[in-house]
Structure 1
């Protein structure tokens, strides 16, 4: 039977180590980007958002309104900056509105 380590570590450090050792960061980023989109865009845009998908560093957002898609395309770079600022790191480099 192996002995337990007696050194105490904060749970935050343990969770970070677990995420890194199991390569879970990309999955967490996908979930965090969806939440950030919902929080930043509000109900008006979320009602027309049908799908959000993060592939590598590109965020694909499918919208059911062509008018809204055109309107959001004007502020494409600003949306990317707001998302990354909300996430605390640069995850999204490009936004594709479909």
Structure 2
């Protein structure tokens, strides 16, 4: 553990430093992507979403409706752009709907 110094830092800076030091950013990104999907897609799509999984720069979405999957396929790039904007950084490069 690092030595304690007498400087005052904000809690957000301390948390960012903790996340970077312990390399927790990828795990937090996975959780944030799931939350962003739920928030942006709404209840209609969430009812048919069975799994959201981020592996590297690819987001895998498992859907229980083939009709919905086909509809979402037409707007993949828009969905990627919306999710990255919500997350505040370019995490997702590819979207796979299953």
TM-score range, shorter chain: over 0.9
Computing the radius of gyration from Cα coordinates, the structure with the larger value is 1
Query: Counterparts of 1:44 and 1:5 in 2: how far apart (Å)?
Result: 51
Task: List per-residue Cα deviations over 1:11-38 (Å, max 9, x = no partner).
Answer: 1111111000100000000000000000
Pairwise CA RMSD of aligned residues?
1.0
Deviation at 1:4, TM superposition (A): 4.2
2:56 aligns with 56
Query: Counterparts of 2:24 and 2:4 in 1: how far apart (Å)?
Result: 26
1:89 aligns with 89
1:8 aligns with 8
With the length of structure 2 as denominator, give the TM-score of the two structures.
0.95
SS at 2:7's partner residue? Answer: coil
Deviation at 1:54, TM superposition (A): 0.1
Task: List per-residue Cα deviations over 1:17-63 (Å, max 9, x = no partner).
Answer: 10001000000000000000000000000000000000000000000
1:32 aligns with 32
Gaps (5+ residues) in structure 1? Answer: none
Query: Counterparts of 2:31 and 2:60 in 1: how far apart (Å)?
Result: 13
Gaps (5+ residues) in structure 2? Answer: none
1:61-80 alignment, distance < 5 Å: 61-80=61-80
Aligned pairs, number: 96
